[in-house]
Amino acid sequence: MPRTRILHISDTHLGKRQYGSDIRREDFAKAFEQAIEVAVERDVDAVIHTGDLFDDPVPSLPTVMRAADALKPLEEHGIPFYGIVGNHERKNDEQWLDLLRRTSAAARLGKEPTMVGEVALYGIDAVRPSVWDNIDLELEEPPAEAAWTILCMHELLTPLVHGMGRVYPASEVIDRAGIDLDGLALGDLHQPASSVVDGTDVWYASATERGGKDQEETGVVQLLDIDNSGIHRRQIELETRPFAVFEIAFGEDDGATHARDVLERHDLEGAVAKIELSGERAAVTANEVTQMAREAGAAVVSVDDNRGRVDLDVESIEAMSLQGLDGAIEEKLADEDFSTVALDVDQQVRKADELDTNVNRVADTFAESLRDAQREAFDDAGPEETPEGVESLEVDE
């Protein structure tokens, strides 16, 4: 088969104002634009994006327009952009990726094959944890001309990810896909990682920009060269803003001079300075440290002031104190004229052993209780008892 070249990018988080900074929002946009430049320069056959194109399910109009403009070079060079929806940008109705598709700038992958050369691409959007066990992950069979199959997803999967919330076995995904998968291209983990699971290459692209102080391996994209010998990945670094992550530990007599001494040990010119203040409370404030870092050349400064904090041993808190809190709440509720429905909601939230974690089901249950209470209240009231101009309330489904 002839070589097929694909650029895999992920987790661009366009519109993210990290640390409340417009500078960082611009950084995320520029990193995405850099990735598109790599695609054009390397003459790829397609770009795949494995989720979280946007940082928010309701990005601003300028953010959406910036994304569309960034994709124009791909359209001009005949390079398709294929994506899936991540958990950050996921909406309940039409997705922003669909809007970009209408501008011919992007297309959305699905469970049917999309052919790029002799490579069949598939995509499954980020799955809500509440439906994972029952959702259909089965893919359509690839056409006869497909020599390779790659599924794009936005999930945290073992054995590549551990201890990061809800994770699923990659082997389960491969089995439930129902076809022979050669590659599993992933997003959601903001650092590169790879493994081989049940004979399938599994990898994370990483994020194009650094989303947190611990994400030291971000700012990369993956270039895939696919030929008869297999799927070959090459990591390409993007030029991103440097981070300076450090701690200033204060003793009892330390102040501004000590803070400046520590700042001078770090190269802050044009950097994002992520600083933790620890130790004893001192005369210098977090705002003053922020200003010092800016004067030292930092473009963006975020300071966490943890001085003087006391670590509580939660297990040592006596159960009686918790019971006392519940008693105080119930005493206060007794003084108020709350309806039976309101009190029932309070009991459900505070005392239910296993409150359903599905928000929609909980809302439906409470809404039904409210409707029943309304019917009962208005049925009991005769015409002369119902205030003039008052109508029964309807709860939207």
Query: What φ, ψ does residue 235 adopt, rounded to 5°?
Result: -90, 130
Task: Give, in order, the Cα–Cα distances in Å from 194 to each of 49, 109, 149, 160, 168.
Answer: 17, 22, 17, 7, 15
What is the C-alpha separation between 167 and 281, in angstroms, rounded?
Answer: 40
Annotated catalytic residue 154: no
Run of H or E residues at 255:
none
Helical segments of the chain, H only: 22-41, 61-76, 96-102, 170-177, 256-264, 286-295, 319-334, 340-351, 359-380
What is the C-alpha separation between 203 and 192, in angstroms, rounded?
Answer: 7
Catalytic residue (choose from 13, 49, 88, 154): 88
Q: Which residues pair with 196 in a beta bridge?
A: 201
Q: How many residues does the chain have?
A: 397
Per-residue b/e over 69-81, b at no fewer than 16 CB within 10 Å?
Answer: ebbeebeeeebbb
What is the C-alpha separation between 8 and 123, in angstroms, rounded?
Answer: 13
How many other C-beta atoms lie within 10 A of the C-beta of residue 159?
A: 14
Query: What φ, ψ does residue 292 adopt, rounded to 5°?
Result: -60, -45
What is the C-alpha separation between 195 and 371, in angstroms, rounded?
Answer: 53
Nearest CA to 300 out of 331, 324, 269, 276 is that of: 269
How many other C-beta atoms lie within 10 A of the C-beta of residue 204?
A: 26
Q: Are 154 and 51 in contact (CB under 8 A)?
A: yes
| Order of all β-strands in the sheet with 272-279 | 243-250, 272-279, 300-305
Give the residue numbers marked as catalytic. Answer: 88
